[in-house]
Chain A
């Protein structure tokens, strides 16, 4: 059987989650490897959530927020941009493939971008193979 990765998504309520809904409403098709956690803002994402996701066996983690400047909470995603950038660096410095963690700005009207990003990211994770470095073995 081919490798079907598990991808954790964390999406902000106002933009990316709504954009994901729009992808559904417009019946766009994308791979089913993504499981989305809804948070109110991408700035809610604690760096430890990301580390923990990889420990829980996520093969990839995709974070989605509003475009900078369009945050429902004005400046939330501007903080998130810095904090998630550092999170990404830490993962990279520790030796995890940096392609396993991705942050995308997807607005509520970008259903097609959501579908495209998920499709592309799933392909990328498939190429990277199972994530075993952080995963806690049972």
Chain B
């Protein structure tokens, strides 16, 4: 089966027009034209007439769940969600940042999405191994069956084969590149803190200039803050201007969390975020 991006775009437009026209929602979060085909932009449609500006193609990677927390509580929002994006919405519902009843989820079943920089297909790398949204109100098309993925963690194989010295060298090289533009946290749907811990002056957790130790502090702490919450959309890595493969670390932590706590982030609105939760019979082996 070949995905028709045009078909999805049409369905998205139709639903957006209807929802806005019937005043079911006050905004629709979707994608619009960017400066070229490869760079579509997040787009906010407020009137039925805006809907014509909506586009959808294989470069529409942005996780639009990122923008939900910007609107005042109670705003009725329709949002276009791919598989990982829908998990971000679930996670935000768990964290009570958004309410389920305020949202209309326009689910996009899709595979073959591409990285606009490298044009490589991101399937299996940063989609959590899923192609269909976990949660939606309206599915824009039929469920799809992309290239089968054994586990979302398969892509970790090369990294996991490194010994600790190689791992350290790998991440040192990557973190040293960081210019502290914070595009990763801007792109991340779960990074909604304002201010971010690293911007605090009291305490000053780490250096704010792009020095290796400040970078390390920022990234390691951010990995912890996202542990059990990262839904593997990979937006952080694609947003990174110096191409730090942050998704690898996040994925590795997500894998550990799933193994230890028996739950993956953003899979059920009934779950409680794993790191602000416990089970009495959690194993002490976690600490070994």
Contacts and interface: CB of A to CB of B under 8 A. Distances in A.
A93 B260 contact: no
A47 B206 CA distance: 13
A95 B253 contact: no
Interface stretch (A4-12, A22-30, A81-89): A81-89
Interface stretch (A48-56, A109-117, A118-126): A48-56
B224 A52 contact: no
A36 interface: no
Interface in A33-92: 47-48, 51-52, 55, 68-69, 75, 78-79, 81-92
A21 interface: no
B216 A51 contact: yes
A82 B282 contact: yes
Interface stretch (B37-45, B69-77, B168-176, B178-186): B168-176
A90 B220 contact: yes
Contact of B278 (A48, A82, A88): A82
B185 to A, nearest CB: 16
A81 B282 contact: yes
A48 B197 contact: yes
Contact of A89 (B172, B197, B217, B256): B256
B118 interface: no
B280 A69 contact: yes
Given A90-B224, A93-B167, A94-B167, A82 B260 contact: yes
Q: Of residues A83, A103, A105, which shows the largest number of chain B Cβ atoms within 10 Å of its Cβ?
A: A83
A78 B282 contact: yes
Nearest to B198: A48
Interface in B130-172: 164-172
Given A95-B168, A96-B164, A103-B287, A86 B227 contact: yes
A134 B260 contact: no
A87 B278 contact: no
Interface stretch (B58-66, B83-91, B109-117, B269-277): B269-277
Contacts of B227: 86, 90
Contacts of B165: 95
14 contacts: A47-B220, A48-B221, A48-B224, A82-B274, A82-B278, A84-B287, A86-B256, A88-B286, A89-B252, A89-B253, A91-B220, A94-B171, A95-B168, A98-B164
Interface of B: 164-172, 197, 205-206, 213, 216-217, 220-221, 223-224, 227-228, 249, 252-253, 256-257, 260-261, 274-280, 282, 284, 286-287
**The 7 nearest A-B residue pairs measured at CB:** A95-B168, A85-B286, A95-B167, A78-B278, A47-B224, A103-B287, A89-B256
Interface of A: 47-48, 51-52, 55, 68-69, 75, 78-79, 81-98, 102-103, 105, 133-134, 136
